[in-house]
Structures are given as structure tokens and as C-alpha cells.
Structure 1
């Protein structure tokens, strides 16, 4: 198990934010991977987070199990599987520095997209866009999820214009990413990342992960979180720039 206190100083807020995201605060968990990548290689950080995400998925799917849209899942999941394979090939064939730079770029683009959307900017596909467009967004969601556990923006860009009822949107999102995270398991196994150290570290963080997910389910129905979101996205830009600088400096 990892014992470095710097790692846990980053991992504790990262896992807590990931739990809030799984509980309904969509998007805030995207900073978790960039935070951990400040202390570990991106692939190792992602491998530690994956078992935690799977457990959190189980909580969020159970909490929102009654409402979901089967058409969205049928269209986007096949594309997501393709995107995961592409993300695996990138991680397997290029240097850790390149993956670090990719993660930094994804972090910045994610945050800018979310801040732009929060100010009324148009960043979504038309509501009547055909299924093949949804498949392409699924590919993008799978790719960014494999690289950075950050598949939310491409998923939302195709799904949000459909104006699903809030419960259906949350339930569909929970099921989509639950399936996506299980699809990622063979890819991380093939990369040799399910080591005893990584799994024990994930296990140590699991109680916090479950507690924060239940906290998210409880809080999402009770508070307005606009300022919280803006702070997280601004922090993501800062972290993304730092990751790109770290990659440019040789990791």
C-alpha cells in the first residue's frame, strides 16, 4: 500500500469529490485524476481510482435505479467500448509524459467547456441529432474515461439536449458509467496495473468513497452548488496547466 503522505493529501479530496459526483454533482469528480497525477503516473493513478469508481457506481445505480433511458444507453455504450480500446492503445504505446500532457489538456478543455456552458454558451449537439452522432460522442466519452476517468463532457453534450427528466438523467448517467468502468477493467489488467500495492491503496480509500457518494446523494437534493462548481472548474484549469508543465519538464 502507498504510504506517502503527499499522495493521501491529494487522494482524500480527490476521492471525496469523486463520491459527490457519483451522488449527483455531475462533473466535479473530473478533477480527481488530475489531482492524483500530481503524485503518481497517470496510468497508476487511474488504476487506483478504478476499483473505487466501481464501488461508487454500485451505490449511485442503486440510489437512482428506477429511472433511466434505454435508447441513450443502446446508442452510446458501443461507441464507448471503442473509445476505451483507443485509450488503452494510447496508454500502452506512448510515454507516460505524453499521457500526462493529454491528461492536462483534457482537464483544461473539460473545465473551460463547463464554465462556458454555465454562462449560457452552446456546447451541445442538437436535440434531434441522429444515433451515429451519439455513437461518436460515446467514442469520445469512452476515450476520455479510459485516459482520465473524465467521460462526462462528451456524454453530456449528446444527452443533455434531449431534456430527460432529472431523475432519468442521473440514473442513465450512473448506469452508463457503471458499465463503462467495468469495460475498462481488462484494459487496466492488460497494462499490469492491478498490483497488490494499487489494490490495497484503493481498499484503504473505499470507506471514504462510499461515505462521500451517500453524502452526494443526500446533498444534491438540498443545496444549490453553482459557486462550488465554478471553484472546482477553475482549480481544474490550474491543475491542468501544472500537468502540462510537468510533462514539458520531462515528468
Structure 2
């Protein structure tokens, strides 16, 4: 029989967390999507927060797939998705060995270097679109799948490969939606096998579900009306915020 968390303080942070993640899933992306688990982890454990959020993410993915139907880049998905599935497998096999804090620390450093490279290319006037590179794309897909499994932080590695391609915002967002829909759906299997979906977590996820589609549709509405000149600086700025948050969480936990 399903039950749920009854502490009112949990819902004071959980509802805003779901709304922020929904806006990100709708296409705004960046720091808002990453803040979901950290916000909920203020009142419950990060592991439980991730387990509660995953079914909600899957529902948001379904809404996003409908909102962004017809927008996707097939070569990108063909390159990064196999790597992501491999990364999820690595995360499953090493679930008892690697902590989320270790992943956040490394991920924060890599992401900051990524943003620094973009800033340099922009100032130097060499910010041209990259072309596909299969080994590089599969590598970052693997890192994304692994960090998504361990810490629900698969966005930055994915963006390291895809943002420099400089797609139209609609094409970029639609491709990202398909990618993370597959990743989150596949993650359900190992999360279930590891016993993360107990009656309390599933019941709490169900209580928070109504907030998910509204926020996701709102995010899609905004991005579909946003110019590339605004979208990409905003995307990189939010990735920078994510990097700082990842570094702070990783260093604080490992040195505290």
C-alpha cells in the first residue's frame, strides 16, 4: 500500500523543486533542472530525493516529447545515446563504490572548463559551430549517462558536446528532450532493482505529479518564442551556475 511523506517542510521545498525542473524540462534547461534534487535534499536524503524525482521526470519527459514532437537531430542521438546507455550500466555496476559527491566535484571542474572555452571563443570571435565527432560524442554521452544515474546530473556532459553544435534552439531542445527521455526511462530499471522505489517514495512522487506537466508546458512555451541570440548566452550562463553548484556540493561533502 502506498504512503507518502507527511512533513509539511518537505513540500515547501519539493513543490518549488518540481516546478523548476518542469520549466527546465520544457526547454529552459540549465541550473533550474539541476536544482531539483539539491532543494529536496535540504529536508530528506539525496538518495531518497533522486528516487522520488525520477518518476516525475519520466512524466515530464512524456509531456516534453509531445511539446517538441518533430524537432530532433538524428545524428546527435545516434552518437550520444549508445554512450549514455553504457554510462548508465557503469553507474549501476559501481553504485556501491562511487558517491554522488565525487561525481559532482569532477563534473564541476569539467563544466567550468567548458564554459571558459566558450567565453574565450566568443571574445576571440571564433565561436563557430562545431561538427559531429563520433568518439567525442560517445565519450560525453557515456559521462552523461553515468552522472545522470549517480547524481541526476547528466545535463552538463551532454551540453559539452551538443551546445557547440549551435543548433536552432527548437532543434537543440527537441533533441535534448528525446535524449533525456530515453535516459530517464532506462534508469527506472536499475533504480527499481536497487530497491529505490518503496511505498513512501512512490506515494510521494504521485502526490507531486500534478505540478509536473504545467511547469513543463510553460517552459516549452517560453523557449519556442526565444531567439538564438538570447537562448545560447542564457544556456551557457545557467551551465556556469550549475558548475559552481556542483563544485560547492562536491568540495563541501568531501572536506566536511
Q: Same fold (TM over 0.5)?
A: yes
Equivalent in the alignment of 2:146: 143
* Distance change (3 Å), C-alpha of 1:203 and 1:184: same
1:179 aligns to 2:194 (yes or no): no
Q: Does structure 2 retain, via aligned residues, the 8 Å contact 1:106–1:144?
A: no
1:179/1:38 CA distance change after superposition, 3 Å: same
- Show the 5 A alignment for 1:10-49: 10-28=13-31, 29-49=33-53
Query: 1:89 offset after TM fit, Å?
Result: 2.7
Matching residue of 2:58: 54
What is the aligned partner in structure 1 of residue 99 from structure 2? 99
Structure 2 residues not aligned, in runs of 5+: none
Q: Retained in 1: the 8 A contact 2:24–2:30?
A: yes
SS of equivalent residue, structure 2 residue 43:
coil
RMSD: 3.0
**CA distance in 2 between partners of 1:69 and 1:211 (Å):** 26
Q: Render the CA deviation track for 1:170-212: whole Å, top value 9, x for unaligned.
A: 1111001001111101110111011111011111111111111
Superposed counterparts of 1:147-226, under 5 Å: 147-222=150-225
Equivalents in 2 of 1:135, 1:229: separation in Å?
22
**Structure 1 residue 230: deviation in Å?**
5.0
How far 1:121 moved relative to its partner? 5.9
Inter-partner Cα distance in structure 2 for 1:136 and 1:160: 15
Alpha-carbon distance in structure 2 between the residues aligned to 1:189 and 1:56:
19
Maintained 8 Å contact 2:86/2:145: yes
Match among 127, 130, 135 for residue 127 of structure 1: 130
Q: Measured at CA, do residues 60 and 120 of structure 1 come closer, stay the same or move farther in structure 2, by a change above 3 Å?
A: farther
Contact 1:34 1:103 in 2 (8 A): no
Q: TM-score, normalised by structure 1?
A: 0.82
Kindly tell me the number of residue pairs found equivalent between the two proteins.
243
Indicate conservation of the 8 Å contact 2:37/2:50, yes or no.
yes
Between the aligned partners of 1:5 and 1:121, the Cα distance in structure 2 is 47
Helix, strand or coil: the match of 2:94? helix
Give the equivalent residue in structure 1 for 2:244: 237
| Residue segments in structure 1 that go unaligned for 5+ positions in a row | none
Tell me, yes or no, if structure 1 residue 71 matches structure 2 residue 75.
yes
Do the aligned residues in 1 keep the contact of 2:101 with 2:249 (CA within 8 Å)?
no
